[in-house]
Amino acid sequence: MDSLDCLNRKSIDLLHRHNLLIPLITRELQARELDNIEIPKELKITALQGFLEKLNIPNQEEFDAWKTNNNLKDIDIENMALNELKLKQYCKNNFYNKSESRFLERKSQLDIIVYSLLRVKEIDKARELYLRIIEKEAEFADLASEFSIGIEKKTCGIVGPGPIGAAHPIMQAHLQNKPIGKVQPPIKIEDSYVIVRVESFDPAQLDDFMREKMAQELFNIWLEAKAKDICQTLLQKLETNNHAL
């Protein structure tokens, strides 16, 4: 990448030692890819107005002062304001046609779920609480509030709504295809025993929002791999130069 040609041996080594080389390459690579994306004038004006409104700067004088304090030029402001639009357009141009296959790969992690969770340390306690729930001696929510050891204690045991992929991998498998409203026997996850009950389950849909999400995931995967390749090339050159000295 031409923009990295200014980096000498010492600067590359310094950035690498502080884990800043790959983030720098990633930012420069994304900027290069988005540079040629054209945004229609009407959308550009709207995006710039929205960006300036978010800054909450009341007048031109304070805006000029803000630019000066942050060492920004008008082109920098425009790039910041249009970055999201350019990114969406780039992903649509380059990855939209692969979004369906990505969705099918990820669908089991994207389904939206709400479930009740009760988590304790001892298996005997878990079994006791499970029996109390299924025998209707106590409500799941009440027992979760009293006995659960996780953050769900503060929500009467309710977790979600959210993507099932956000749960622990063992929990994801445990929640899949469970009947709504049925309390499941305790299972061990790491150092705790958990009781769950699925409250609602909404399968993910491949709508426009999801296509954009999948396209951006594919772009991020490509960007990460490309940045690592460029980083490796720079470090190999650095190593070669060191041996040559």
pLDDT value at 240 more than 80: no
What's the pLDDT at 242?
57
pLDDT value at 9 more than 70: yes
Query: What pTM was computed for the model?
Result: 0.76
Tell me which residue of 103, 89, 14 sits closest to 44, measured CA to CA: 89
pLDDT-derived band at 245, boundaries 50, 70, 90: very low
Find tokens 């920098």 and name the residue.
Answer: 76
Longest pairwise C-alpha distance within the chain: 79
What's the pLDDT at 62?
85
What percent of the chain lies above the pLDDT cut of 70? 97
pLDDT per residue over 140-162, tens digit each?
A: 999 999 999 989 999 999 999 99
For β-strands 112-120 and 158-163, DSSP reports them as antiparallel
What's the pLDDT at 5?
78
pLDDT per residue over 181-219, tens digit each?
A: 999 999 999 999 999 999 999 999 999 999 999 999 999
Q: Where are the alpha helices (DSSP H) in the chain?
A: 9-17, 21-34, 41-55, 60-69, 74-95, 99-110, 123-134, 140-147, 169-175, 208-244
What's the pLDDT at 86?
94
What's the pLDDT at 48?
87
pLDDT value at 112 more than 90: yes
Give the chain's mean pLDDT.
Answer: 91
Sorted by where each starts, the structural domains of the chain and their CATH numbers stand as 2-103+208-244 (no CATH), 112-202 (3.10.50.40)
What percent of the chain lies above the pLDDT cut of 90? 66
Query: Residue 200 has which token pair?
Result: 């609602």
pLDDT value at 22 more than 70: yes
Tell me which residue of 229, 224, 231 sits closest to 16, measured CA to CA: 231
What is the C-alpha to C-alpha distance for residues 143 and 126, in angstroms, rounded to an integer? 11
What's the pLDDT at 243?
53
Find tokens 């993507």 and name the residue.
Answer: 163
pLDDT per residue over 30-77, tens digit each?
A: 999 998 899 998 898 898 888 888 888 878 888 888 888 999 888 888
In the DSSP assignment, the letter for residue 98 is G
